[in-house]
């Protein structure tokens, strides 16, 4: 299918890069497991394929789908979201500076602070989600602004267009779009240079695959990221590519259900006496609610909240859940509960976590697509346990 602007997201997700197999007519892209490819003479590659780390037909199909759903022109698939992050940061050199926010995935913090800083990268974690304050922090060494929006786990929303318009020439803007997904937000359309994903989450959608992605419209950036992809070799297996691509096909159907369920739970939490504060951009009470309405086409199924009874209440709440599983990750069809303080953000020093609001009474929910009434009942009974003396 030659993708054009007239094709909607659901159509691109199902057809882009996924032509029926010309030999057999199979409508599902074959899983090509070969580690190497026969050459017709030295350098005579068939359809460009030489060695599986460098390129694979199943992976290429996924990459074409990824580019199409993010309104990009180039995409690279990786073995995980962390590998995708590494590929973007590989564009920088020792002495360069990357700006990000302290309210960022704990694995990203760990990678920048404990891995790349040792190699001479200057990593600054800003205690803000305000675009003007981020722009004001740029120095002559800044080469990359890396943001999540909504952020993990406090669900702050950052103005992508303002950052894109205000950053000086030579400063790249990369957006981790894992939470919002292409169903709700397209950062490239708002002026970002690069979009990154943990495809493990909403893109895969079923908690059964690890994957990452980097998408851009810049051929030169893509070439450099592709060089890193091949040199480092952190590529997904063909079967993993198949699973991510299969998950993408239902993304536009799943996301509204995630959002509707999350809205119901966020509303319940906001009214409950055992809850101190709710973080959900879909609520009018959220400080970035209007920005979310302008920038996004909806909100993901992520809800964070603080319990009034401190760590003990959080423990009672998590222990009391029956349908929500206490587990890392997010974005799957099943509902998960997470304790960011020691789980996803355990790598951040305690003092910094407390300063930015990742407190010992904070719980993060990834709301799945089960029946809303069942999820509401589960949260309500767990809240009752949390409130018990």
Residues annotated as catalytic are 53, 105, 176, 201
- If one counts every other C-beta atom within 10 angstroms of the C-beta of residue 310, the result is 13
* CA gap 10, 254 in Å, rounded: 11
* CA gap 303, 208 in Å, rounded: 22
In angstroms, what is the C-alpha Rg of the chain?
21
Distances (CA, A) of 243 to 205, 208, 237: 9, 8, 10
Please name which of 296, 326, 244 lies closest in space to residue 64, comparing C-alpha atoms: 244
Please name which of 268, 272, 332 lies closest in space to residue 302, comparing C-alpha atoms: 332
* CA gap 179, 236 in Å, rounded: 21
Give the pairing of strands 122-126 and 74-78. Answer: unpaired
CB contact burial 226-242 (16+ within 10 A = b; e otherwise): bebbeeeebbbbbebbb
* CA gap 220, 145 in Å, rounded: 18
Cβ neighbors of 130 (< 8 A, separation 6 or more) are: none
Q: Is 109 in contact with 98 (CB distance < 8 Å)?
A: no
Residue 281 exposed, middle or buried by CB count within 10 Å (0-12, 13-18, 19+)? buried
């Amino acid at each position: 299918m030659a993708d054009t602007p007239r094709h909607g997201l659901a159509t691109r997700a199902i057809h882009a890069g996924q032509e029926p197999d010309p030999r057999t007519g199979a409508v599902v892209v074959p899983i090509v497991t070969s580690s190497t490819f026969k050459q017709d003479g030295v350098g005579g590659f068939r359809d460009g394929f030489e060695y599986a780390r460098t390129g694979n037909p199943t992976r290429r199909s996924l990459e074409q789908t990824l580019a199409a759903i993010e309104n990009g022109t180039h995409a690279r698939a990786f073995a995980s979201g962390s590998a995708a992050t590494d590929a973007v940061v590989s564009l920088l050199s020792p002495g360069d500076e990357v700006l990000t926010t302290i309210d960022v995935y704990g694995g990203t913090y760990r990678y920048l602070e404990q891995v790349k800083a040792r190699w001479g990268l200057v990593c600054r974690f800003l205690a803000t989600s305000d675009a003007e304050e981020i722009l004001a922090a740029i120095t002559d060494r800044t080469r990359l602004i890396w943001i999540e929006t909504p952020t993990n786990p406090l669900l702050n929303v950052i103005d992508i267009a303002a950052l894109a318009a205000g950053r000086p020439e030579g400063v790249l803007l990369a957006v981790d779009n894992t939470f919002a997904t292409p169903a709700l937000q397209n950062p490239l359309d708002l002026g970002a240079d690069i979009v990154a994903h943990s495809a493990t989450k909403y893109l895969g959608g079923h908690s059964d695959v690890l994957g990452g992605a980097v998408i851009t419209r810049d051929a030169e950036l893509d070439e450099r990221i592709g060089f890193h992809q091949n040199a480092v070799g952190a590529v997904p297996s063909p079967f993993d590519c198949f699973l991510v691509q299969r998950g993408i096909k239902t993304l536009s159907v799943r996301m509204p259900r995630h959002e509707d369920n999350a809205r119901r739970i966020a509303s319940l939490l906001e009214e409950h006496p055992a809850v101190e504060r709710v973080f959900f951009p879909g609520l009018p009470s959220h400080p970035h609610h209007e920005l979310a309405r302008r920038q996004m086409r909806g909100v993901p199924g992520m809800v964070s909240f603080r319990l009034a009874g401190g760590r003990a209440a959080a423990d009672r709440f998590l222990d009391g859940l029956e349908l929500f599983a206490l587990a890392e990750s997010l974005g799957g069809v099943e509902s998960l509960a997470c304790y960011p303080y020691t789980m996803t953000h355990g790598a951040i020093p305690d003092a910094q976590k407390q300063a930015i609001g990742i407190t010992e009474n904070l719980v993060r929910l990834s709301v799945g697509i089960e029946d809303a009434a069942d999820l509401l009942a589960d949260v309500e009974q767990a809240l009752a346990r949390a409130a018990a003396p």
